[in-house]
Structure 1
């Protein structure tokens, strides 16, 4: 199959079956496509849609983003995960305001220098918004190419990736690049899936090596199942009526600049902290423990609920310590495990 026929098959399929009504595909701009592409990094389309809608409603342009506080961005990002993406958006808004007078750049070398944007993301932003001739190589596209060309190797292997870049550069059409890129992503997510691909309805099935061999599971090679290390944290959930004491994480760590409960490495240290601060309590009880998975480890969380008879001087609010009221919640970034614990108490509020 020639390169022209390959791209034409993708374009024909996209014309009939491709997704054209996603929120970021309507009245699209460099700005909205940028936000969607950052949100879609390591996150599925269906999960991103409500976050994207709410984000654009609150931050419709670069100016509104630049004039916001990081806490405002993290608040809307709460639950989406991979919070470095939100930090990168905030940093980029300041760079764009200063270096490009508040206008999102439309040159590849400028776009790729923004925080959190690599070669594929830059190509996606420019091709999907302006139809510029730049290829993309996300996980979905890699899987299609590996199966179609029968490339033996791992998805994240550098040599394989270099070979795939050479291929995608050669087959990406000069015209209708945006539609071709979107078509490849759509086929990868809906047809050429990692498990049980729908080869019979794939527009590339006639000359796809994986389909001819009837061994799609061979492409790409599967990594040995990784065993994630476990870490343990004890949360002190301090409650006074409908208020919960939260701290802002200002360290270079997970959940940077998000608010969470006082966190400790073991129960003894957690309880000693309460004694040292001479915190008067009504009750102390263990809540149900649970796991939270990160990209590189699993956190085992043990919450301890502390109810207070009154608010002592120790609990004064400032920039890094607040009382979070469930009836009138503040617009702050909260990681999913904290949200999960707070949701346990929301059901009791009338």
Structure 2
């Protein structure tokens, strides 16, 4: 049972003074820009998103500009942000919006959740922050605030727990100033009611918070326990001929889907076999410094190996193709590459320019 409290007004009052109104996507109510920001913010920190959002919006300031782009361009401006399925979802959504909604983003929950990568919370956020619709949202920050404020324990299954939390947030979401309430409760969860070491002393909800009254403290977790993260080894072959390096587009359903990368292998044996099959005329082979790249569910140990070759004989390409490219390091060709590949390219580029 939810006890009636002035929680909504407390949150709105707090937002007026301390809410994150300075964020770039908070300075607009254009549904297109808010859509892009909400997709970028999925599973990603605000501070990480800001520079990528600014760069993306500068290139694609409107839906009309975005619909004229191709997948490679979208991935290029997404490169480094990670979770590339989100960029693919934006590209797919553009096609659907153009075909079914005459090039305008839909402004109803029913239509928005039909777009790839948009669930109930993302749809609610888009509508709340663009046209101030009376809709609730329930992200991880809000879940945490509700759980502590009402001292809600897990109910039977996670599915039932989620349904219950939806009922709670829908009951307390105000009809007036819904956008300020939604942003305010998210900000409180992100800035004050943090997973560990919450700043209860400055929380505007503390006088009514049951967890606070019960003196339940969420202290910093012990450093003694560390989750075992799987480390996967990848050998990456950098075929280089003068100022050109060979890149291939990653296949669908693989990590970094549709981004350009160096050919990668799980063993030296596979590398030798590949070099023989492609008839690579080798001048010199050199290993570069290893790179550890952290992903959400495992870490990559990348071992870059430069193979100086006599000719650009593999597929004999000098410009961008559908699946392969001999990339000119001295030019600024805009191709989509993941962040560790970008680092390697910059290092090789620097070495060539200094020669």
TM-score, normalised via structure 2 length: 0.91
RMSD: 2.2
Q: After TM superposition, what 4+ stretches of structure 1 lie above 6 angstroms from structure 2? A: none
In the alignment, which residue of structure 2 is the partner of 1:323? 326
For residue 171 of structure 2, what is the aligned residue in structure 1? 170
Q: Match of 1:245?
A: 246
Q: Secondary structure at the match of 2:93?
A: helix
Find the counterpart in structure 2 of residue 344 from structure 1.
347
State which drifts further: 266-275 or 79-88: 266-275
Report how far residue 325 of structure 1 moved. Answer: 2.1
Once residues 212 and 4 of structure 2 are traced to their aligned partners in structure 1, the CA distance between those partners, rounded to angstroms, is 19
Quote the offset at 1:226 in angstroms: 4.8
The answer to whether the Cα contact below 8 Å between 2:75 and 2:259 also exists between their aligned partners in 1 is yes
What residue is the counterpart of 1:50 in the other structure? Answer: 51
Match status 1:259 vs 2:260: yes
1:98-145 Cα shifts (integer Å, max 9, x gaps): 100001110110011100000100000000111101111111111111
Alpha-carbon distance in 1 for matches of 2:152, 2:5: 21
The equivalent of 1:217 in structure 2 is: 218
Give the Cα separation in 2 of the matches to 1:342 and 1:64.
Answer: 29
Give the C-alpha shift of residue 347 in structure 1. 3.2
Match runs of 1:96-175 below 5 Å: 96-153=97-154, 157-175=158-176
Residue-by-residue CA offset, 1:32-63 (whole Å, 9 max, x unaligned) = 10000000001111111111111111111222
Judge conservation of contact 1:292–1:298 (CA < 8 Å) in 2.
Answer: yes
Structure 2 unaligned residues grouped into runs of 5+: none
Q: 3-state SS of the aligned residue for 1:282?
A: strand
CA distance in 2, matches of 1:94, 1:117: 15
Q: Does 1:334 align with 2:337?
A: yes
Tell me the secondary structure at the aligned position of residue 129 of structure 1. helix
Q: d(CA) in 1 for partners of 2:69 and 2:179?
A: 31
- Contact between 1:233 and 1:263, CA under 8 Å: does it hold in 2? yes
* 19-28 or 43-52, larger mean C-alpha shift: 19-28
Q: Give the drift of 1:152.
A: 2.6
Distance in 1, Cα, partners of 2:135 & 2:306 = 53
Deviations 1:215-271 (A, max 9, x none): 23289xxxx965343332211011223322100113321111100001112111012
Q: Secondary structure at the match of 1:133?
A: coil
Find the residue that maps to 2:185 and give its secondary structure.
helix
Provide the rounded CA distance (Å) in 1 between the counterparts of 2:332 and 2:309.
19
How far, CA to CA, are the matches of 2:61 and 2:94 in structure 1?
Answer: 13
- 1:71-95 residue CA offsets vs partner (Å, 9 max, x unmatched): 0000000000000000000110110
- The answer on whether the counterparts of 1:37 and 1:125 sit within 8 Å (CA) in structure 2 is yes
Question: Superposition pairs for residues 170-249 of structure 1, below 5 Å?
Answer: 170-217=171-218, 226-249=227-250
Shift of 1:3: 4.3
Partner in structure 2 of residue 37 of structure 1:
38
Q: Structure 1 residues 254 and 313 mapped into 2: Cα distance closer, same or farther (>3 Å)?
A: closer
Query: Comparing 225-234 with 319-328, which one deviates more in the overlay?
Result: 225-234
Q: How far, CA to CA, are the matches of 2:185 and 2:226 in structure 1? A: 27
Q: Secondary structure at the match of 1:247?
A: strand
**Unaligned 5+ runs, structure 1:** none
Correspondence for 2:302: 301
The answer (yes or no) to whether the contact 1:147–1:216 under 8 Å persists in 2 is: no
Counterpart CA distance in 1 for 2:38 and 2:4 is 27
8 Å CA contact retained: 2:265, 2:271: yes
| CA distance, structure 1, for counterparts of residue 118 and residue 99 of structure 2 | 18
